[in-house]
Amino acid sequence: MIGITILGATGTIGLNTLDVLAQHPGRFRVVALTAHRNVELLYQQCVQWRPSYAVLVDDTAAEQLATRLRPVVPEITVLSGVAGLETVARLPEVQMVMAAIVGAAGLLPTLAAAEAGKRVLLANKEALVMSGPLFMAAVERQQAELLPIDSEHNAVFQCLPHSPSTRPADLARQGISRIILTASGGPFRQWSLDRLAQVTPDQACAHPNWKMGRKISVDSATMMNKGLEVIEACWLFSASPQHVDVVLHPQSVIHSLVEYVDGSVLAQLGNPDMRTPIAYALAWPERMSAGVSALDLIKVARLEFEAADWGRFPCLRLAYEAMAAGGTTTAILNAANEVAVAEFLAGRLPFTAIPLLIEATLSQVSGRVVDHLDTILADDAKARAFATEWMANY
Ligand code: NAD
Ligand code: MG
């Protein structure tokens, strides 16, 4: 049986992963489940899945979990803190790590999984946005397998030329001229700037096609999600930003496309359901069922495309600029965005001020060459400090 650790088991991706695993009993063994502080849900998951380890980052929550599990499933070891996450990402009995923690918090355990040479099922795009060169170097050095879970990158991966390894190759040498990421445009695709200024957190989290955690839902609404995905694509596929384009596709049926020099364009289609990329990455290079219904083309009937409006969605421009600037600039972009999204969700920052806060941070905190993890973490902290101060004066 293949041992698997799920980082972020209580989130949307974590739950979808467990759903897929439940369809294939006897093939995978859940070795570790982790969450931030949701004692109740992680307790239920532990009782059902009987992992060897459970991790709650919050110390008090971890103690509560241990107390509840002891009389029921005493053999589960409960760990806490970031060290606990890193431990279960590296376990020798684990072959695959689902990296599904949201935000910068996912960086260290995801990096630990790569450093330990695991198959990394990468949902946590923020880790790659922050640490691209270091992360890819660790994957290369340790011969880890990096399989994208983000639906766009999973689609691109599926449309690349067949290769026995997951290692990125030179796009031009493979006859690839462009990667085209599709974007639904989120819930406000057609809204005017005036209306956007009034958006509430609940409106922003009501995505038309996907059910996701609140942070990524807001990112989808501002289109920062697509910006982060452009950066993610550059690292995953060794592409430069000018070879990664974004096209709006409101139906979310084409998950992304790869354009070749001979004029061929390959696309991956399917119902918008994260269980498809999850099952793909779990079974790769084979295929296994995901519980996703077959795509009904007649019912879909129409596939539409539009250009993305950078005026109404400046986050996309900011992400391209950050990637072009390179170094820790993308970590600074990510940190400012995390602060801005949290402030928006808390009702303290209007939706249209999210890019203003990010742009202000990018203009005040300068990026540096990524030489070491500490440089990334220091610039992440600097950006958060600046963004927090900006909020205090807002
Ligand atoms: P979510 O908010 O539903 O779940 C987040 C998970 O991370 C939870 O298990 C939570 O306990 C854990 N977590 C939160 N803060 C933490 C912390 N400080 N330390 C440790 N663990 C923490 O998020 P989600 O929608 O499942 O997304 C997870 C990741 O996958 C994100 O990076 C997102 O961008 C990416 N992703 C999600 C989708 C989707 O459809 N949901 C699609 C593509 C990519
Ligand atoms: Mg995506």
SS3 of the chain: CEEEEEECCCCHHHHHHHHHHHCCCCCEEEEEEEECCCHHHHHHHHHHHCCCEEEECCHHHHHHHHHHHCCCCCCCEEEEHHHHHHHHHHCCCCCEEEECCCCHHHHHHHHHHHHCCCEEEECCHHHHHHHHHHHHHHHHHHCCEEEECCHHHHHHHHHCCCCCCCCCCCCHHHCEEEEEEEECCCCCCCCCHHHHCCCCHHHHCCCCCCCCCHHHHHHHHHCHHHHHHHHHHHHHCCCCHHHEEEEECCCCCEEEEEEECCCCEEEEECCCCCHHHHHHHHHCCCCCCCCCCCCCHHHHCCCCCEECCCCCCHHHHHHHHHHHHCCCHHHHHHHHHHHHHHHHHCCCCCHHHHHHHHHHHHHHCCCCCCCCHHHHHHHHHHHHHHHHHHHHCC
Q: How far is the CA of 99 from the centre of ligand 2 (A)?
A: 14
Answer whether residue 207 shows pLDDT above 90: no
Answer whether residue 163 shows pLDDT above 80: no
> Per the annotation, does 359 bind a ligand?
no
The tokens for 183 are 């974007």
Any idea which ligand is nearest the CA of 219? 1
Any idea which ligand is nearest the CA of 37? 1
Q: Assign domain 2-148 one CATH number from 3.40.50.720, 3.10.20.30, 3.30.460.80, 3.30.420.10.
A: 3.40.50.720
Q: Rounded to the nearest 10 degrees, how much is the dihedral formed by the CA atoms of 49, 53, 54, 57?
A: -160
ipTM for the predicted complex: 0.99
Instruction: Please work out whether the CB of residue 109 comes within 6 Å of at least one atom of ligand 1.
Output: no
C-alpha 16/C-alpha 25 separation (Å) is 15
Among 67, 80, 69, 90, smallest CA distance to 34 is for 80
Residues 127/107, Cβ–Cβ less than 8 Å:
yes
Name the residue with tokens 């790569």: 114
Answer whether residue 209 shows pLDDT above 90: no
The tokens for 37 are 């502080």
CA of 212, closest atom in ligand 1: 41
C-alpha 308/C-alpha 245 separation (Å) is 10
> Per the annotation, does 76 bind a ligand?
no
pLDDT at 255: 98
Q: Is 54 left (phi over 0), alpha (psi -120 to 50) or beta?
A: beta
Instruction: Please work out whether the CB of residue 11 comes within 6 Å of at least one atom of ligand 1.
Output: yes
pLDDT (average), residues 183-189: 92
pLDDT at 20: 98
C-alpha 133/C-alpha 373 separation (Å) is 10
Q: How far is the CA of 47 from the centre of ligand 2 (A)?
A: 31
What residue segments make up the domains of the chain, in order of their start? 2-148
Instruction: Please work out whether the CB of residue 274 comes within 6 Å of at least one atom of ligand 1.
Output: yes
More confident residue, 19 or 164: 19
> Per the annotation, does 124 bind a ligand?
yes
**Please, which pLDDT band fits residue 210 given cuts at 50, 70 and 90?**
confident
pLDDT (average), residues 264-293: 98
Any idea which ligand is nearest the CA of 205? 1
Instruction: Please work out whether the CB of residue 216 comes within 6 Å of at least one atom of ligand 1.
Output: yes
pLDDT at 208: 83
pLDDT at 182: 98
The tokens for 55 are 């991790």
Residues 80/56, Cβ–Cβ less than 8 Å:
yes
Mean pLDDT of the chain: 96
User: Which residue out of 6, 7, 10, 12 has the highest number of ligand 1 atoms within 8 Å of its CB and is therefore the one to mutate?
Assistant: 12
Q: How far is the CA of 50 from the centre of ligand 1 (A)?
A: 22
> Per the annotation, does 184 bind a ligand?
yes
Sheet holding 254-260, edge to edge: 265-269, 254-260, 176-183, 244-248, 306-307
pLDDT at 55: 98
**Smallest CA separation from ligand 1 atom 42, residue:** 150
pLDDT at 249: 97
Instruction: Please work out whether the CB of residue 246 comes within 6 Å of at least one atom of ligand 1.
Output: no
User: Which residue out of 5, 57, 101 has the highest number of ligand 1 atoms within 8 Å of its CB and is therefore the one to mutate?
Assistant: 101
pLDDT (average), residues 250-268: 97
CA of 214, closest atom in ligand 1: 2
Q: Which has the minimum average pLDDT: 26-35, 41-50, 209-218, 340-349?
A: 209-218
pLDDT per residue over 225-235, tens digit each?
999 999 999 99
User: Which residue out of 80, 102, 182, 207 has the highest number of ligand 1 atoms within 8 Å of its CB and is therefore the one to mutate?
Assistant: 102
What are the φ and ψ backbone dihedral angles of 333, each rounded to 5 degrees?
-55, -45
pLDDT at 169: 79
Angle CA 23–147–215, to nearest 5: 85
CA of 216, closest atom in ligand 1: 34
Answer whether residue 164 shows pLDDT above 80: no
Q: Which has the minimum average pLDDT: 92-101, 122-131, 205-214, 379-388?
A: 205-214
